[in-house]
Structure 1
Amino acid sequence: MARVPSTSVDPAIDAAALLRRIGFIGLFVIMPVAAQVARRAVVILAPISIALLLLASAIDGRARPVRPASSRLLRSPAFLAGCLVILWSALSLVWTPFLSLATERLLNVIATLLMTMAAYLALPDRMRSANLYLLPVGVAAAAIFAIGLGLTGQGPFGQGLLGPDEDAILDRGLILLILFVWPAVSWLRSRGRNSEALGLALLVSVALLVSPGPTTLVALALGAVAFALAAFRPMLAPRLLGVTAATLLVLGPVLPFIARPIGATVFGGRAPGVLSLKAWQTIVTSEPLRLVTGHGLETALRGRYVNLLPMNAPRTLLFELWYELGLVGAFAAAFALHAAIRRAGREASVLVPGAMAAFASAFLIACIGVGMTVMWWLTTLALAVLVFVAVERGQFRTRRPKASLLPSAQKA
């Protein structure tokens, strides 16, 4: 009588798989949709989803070993330059006029970075395709939901037309959608699903076309240009994008003197953007020595309300980075960004176009007016990095053994 083979079932492994699946559902599906209608969806759902991933890795032991991963990070030029930015931000607390607020903001930034590093270590070395396919599903659901909101003009839970505050919430959700669509497209392309990838990109484009403002659409368009360039010239695109972004950060104080005459010619001298550039020029010329040290963390935001700088001062990374952290912070951030762009996608060439598109879109959004240390923005950037890491760890191939004839068949 033949024995039935016994299969050992480990409840802990099954529980870890379930927790990991729930964590990815929250990260890839629930959060992109919830961000369209809830202002704090990202900063609330992200820690919960990451906590589930950490718990799952603690149960089944599939987390990446801490020592090799940590040593790899410590050898990364981009990570070391980013640490220098954090250290200089901490040192700027000595001369910032908003010590308590700046300290709170710095602690929040450090907490976000630690959360990102913990999630990076918690992601398995080999991601299951079933978990990663949740990403395009979530992006498509969020895009359809955004289209519905844009067409109907309904606010959260159907309460009236979109007002100014709700427009800001929707912009946050659309920005998250932009940063998530590129890893989703990259994942589909890596699986040979080019038609689905194109359809997803078009669906997100429609969602942005019916959105309240043009900022997100411009960011997606720039990302598409970077994607196309990287697809045709995968070696040139990272170099060009890295040099361009780093140069803009380094030349921050010079930009208003170049852009203001051009803007005045095109839009007129009294245009709001031109007046903002004029205020930037005045700040640079009135305190040139402060360009070395900066005014300290949190001064670009809070200084507007205590007459440290005019209310029409630019709300852009290019201005706020120099104003708060000065030359040291700007050069360190430029080096970190350049190194990160050049490094992105090296281990999986199929991800290079999506990574370059995400970098281009995120950099443009930061330059248009998100601000430097807004927590929902930093959390969104951290999540985009984690999503790309997850997609990269899904780029492995297993070779199935070739079917061979049974010995009895060979003898026959």
Structure 2
Amino acid sequence: MVRSASPTAHPSTDAAALLRRLGFAILLFAIPLAALFTRRALVVMAPLAVALIGMAAFLDGSAKTPLQKAIGIATSRAGIAGFVLVLWSALSLIWTPFVPQASERLLNIIAMGLMAVAGYLALPERMRSANLYLLPVGVGLAALIGTVMLLREDGRLEPDGLGVERGMVVLVLLLWPALTWLHSRGRNLEAVALALAVAVGTVLTADPLPLIGLAVGAVAFALTAALPQTGSRLIGFLMAGLLISAPVLPFLLKPVAELAGAGSAAGTLDMWQALVLKEPLRFLTGHGLETAWRGRLFGLLPHAAPFSLLFEIWYELGIVGAMSGAVLLSQAALGAGGHRPILGPGIMASFASAFAFGACGIGTAQVWWFTALVVLVLVFVAVERGQFRTKRPKAILRRLR
């Protein structure tokens, strides 16, 4: 008897699988490596990866109820706070002295937000393990390459004029979802080795910022692992509290800086105090989007003014921007764990590291930073959707009679 040929898969399904595989290869493997060499890698490769994943979802229809999910995001507390923050940023264009530059920055923010939503809606409900294992492989390989590059150049390699520390910042951010995925699959030894590889690279980097972000994230990871509910609430409210109380911080921290003998930090805090006391009413509305950075170039703001998210959001957007940003941070942090407790420590470590980077002076207005945050969110969503089966089913043998 001739056996009938097995039915072949639909061509669109095969094409979708290929596009999705390529998209995740770019998102999880290529981006960590390329970030070591050029800041444009994130800006170019992340939208390309999201586009490929979106095309795959369109071809095979793997995106379930996208409209309901989008409405759920928009009507959540974090979504409403984010909408208020963007709306107030748009209104600040009325009084900012740098309308063209601020408009470009606002459009970049909106574009990154839309890309994040599109990527979230396009991700499949169940992620294949083979795709997610690309993340720790990419982060580990990038950490090894970065370490070799730093050893050869004494920690001061500058592939495009800005330094390799930006690539290490991206690695620190992506380390936490990579560790979370390995831990969820029971590969704790590999997770420790990956953390050590990234830690070596941050220690060798001339700029201390990657090491600061890694240390803060490690503390948050340990705290949330030991006290899941308490740790998450504490970190979420701490980030929101620091953002709200930012104008008071220079007055509280200056005595500490003077006792510690940190002259440069004390000078920055002096300037921060002077700016708060000079125009206290302007902190109600802010000076407008883009004034914190452009103001230094045109003499509207002293060069000694702090490079920090805590200062810049108050200076540019005032109390409305600070309050909406605080609500966005706290609600996103408290609701990020969902029903997967195993993800909690890694998620809170990512929040803590990203907040530490912003508070300690990373260029939060730059497009590559927004893109890195979008990539981080999409990667964690992918890791969460890879948890549908955490162990292999046991084989049940029945006695034959």
Q: TM-score, normalised by structure 2?
A: 0.96
> Matches of 1:105 and 1:64 in 2, distance apart?
32
The question of 1:90 aligning with 2:122 is answered: no
> Matches of 1:247 and 1:164 in 2, distance apart?
38
1:178 aligned partner = 172
The question of 1:150 aligning with 2:150 is answered: yes
Cα distance, 1:230 vs structure 2? 0.8
- Does the residue aligned with 2:228 lie in a helix, a strand or coil? coil
**Aligned residues of 2:37 and 2:159 also touching (Cα < 8 A):** no
Task: Give CA-to-partner distance per residue, 1:197-248, whole Å, 9 cap, x none.
Answer: 1111111111112222221112101111111111111011111101111110
**Aligned residues of 2:37 and 2:160 also touching (Cα < 8 A):** no
2:63 aligned partner = 63
**Aligned residues of 1:29 and 1:141 also touching (Cα < 8 A):** no
**Aligned residues of 1:187 and 1:391 also touching (Cα < 8 A):** yes
The percent of aligned pairs where both chains have the same amino acid is: 50
Task: Give CA-to-partner distance per residue, 1:144-167, whole Å, 9 cap, x none.
Answer: 111111111189xxxxx735964x
Cα distance, 1:120 vs structure 2? 0.6
User: How do 1:239-318 residues align onto structure 2 when only pairs under 5 Å count?
Assistant: 239-267=233-261, 271-318=263-310
Residue 278 of structure 1 aligns to which amino acid in structure 2?
A: D
The question of 1:236 aligning with 2:198 is answered: no
Structure 2 vs 1, CA of residues 105 and 221 (structure 1 numbering), >3 Å: closer, same or farther?
A: same
2:322 aligned partner = 330
Residue 29 of structure 1 aligns to which amino acid in structure 2?
A: F
- Does the residue aligned with 2:388 lie in a helix, a strand or coil? coil
> Matches of 1:401 and 1:68 in 2, distance apart?
36
> Matches of 2:216 and 2:320 in 1, distance apart?
29
The question of 1:392 aligning with 2:387 is answered: no
Task: Give CA-to-partner distance per residue, 1:149-192, whole Å, 9 cap, x none.
Answer: 1111189xxxxx735964x3411111110010100000011111
Cα distance, 1:261 vs structure 2? 1.9
1:158 aligned partner = none
User: How do 1:33-72 residues align onto structure 2 when only pairs under 5 Å count?
Assistant: 33-72=33-72
- Does the residue aligned with 2:6 lie in a helix, a strand or coil? coil
Structure 2 vs 1, CA of residues 154 and 63 (structure 1 numbering), >3 Å: closer, same or farther?
A: farther
1:358 aligned partner = 350
Q: What is the aligned length? A: 400
**Aligned residues of 1:256 and 1:280 also touching (Cα < 8 A):** yes
User: How do 1:110-121 residues align onto structure 2 when only pairs under 5 Å count?
Assistant: 110-121=110-121
Structure 2 vs 1, CA of residues 17 and 163 (structure 1 numbering), >3 Å: closer, same or farther?
A: closer
Residue 21 of structure 1 aligns to which amino acid in structure 2?
A: R
Cα distance, 1:18 vs structure 2? 1.0
Residue 149 of structure 2 aligns to which amino acid in structure 1?
A: L
- Does the residue aligned with 1:370 lie in a helix, a strand or coil? coil
Aligned-residue RMSD, C-alpha: 1.8
Cα distance, 1:74 vs structure 2? 2.3
Task: Give CA-to-partner distance per residue, 1:67-111, whole Å, 9 cap, x none.
Answer: 210121123111110111000000000100111110111011101
> Matches of 2:30 and 2:63 in 1, distance apart?
24
Unmatched tracts of structure 1, length 5 or more: 156-160
> Matches of 1:170 and 1:333 in 2, distance apart?
29
Match of 1:370 among 362, 367, 380: 362
> Matches of 1:20 and 1:338 in 2, distance apart?
32
User: How do 1:88-237 residues align onto structure 2 when only pairs under 5 Å count?
Assistant: 88-153=88-153, 162-163=157-158, 166=161, 168-237=162-231
Structure 2 vs 1, CA of residues 8 and 151 (structure 1 numbering), >3 Å: closer, same or farther?
A: same
> Matches of 1:264 and 1:404 in 2, distance apart?
72
> Matches of 1:103 and 1:124 in 2, distance apart?
34
> Matches of 2:198 and 2:308 in 1, distance apart?
25
**Aligned residues of 1:234 and 1:353 also touching (Cα < 8 A):** yes
Residue 77 of structure 1 aligns to which amino acid in structure 2?
A: R
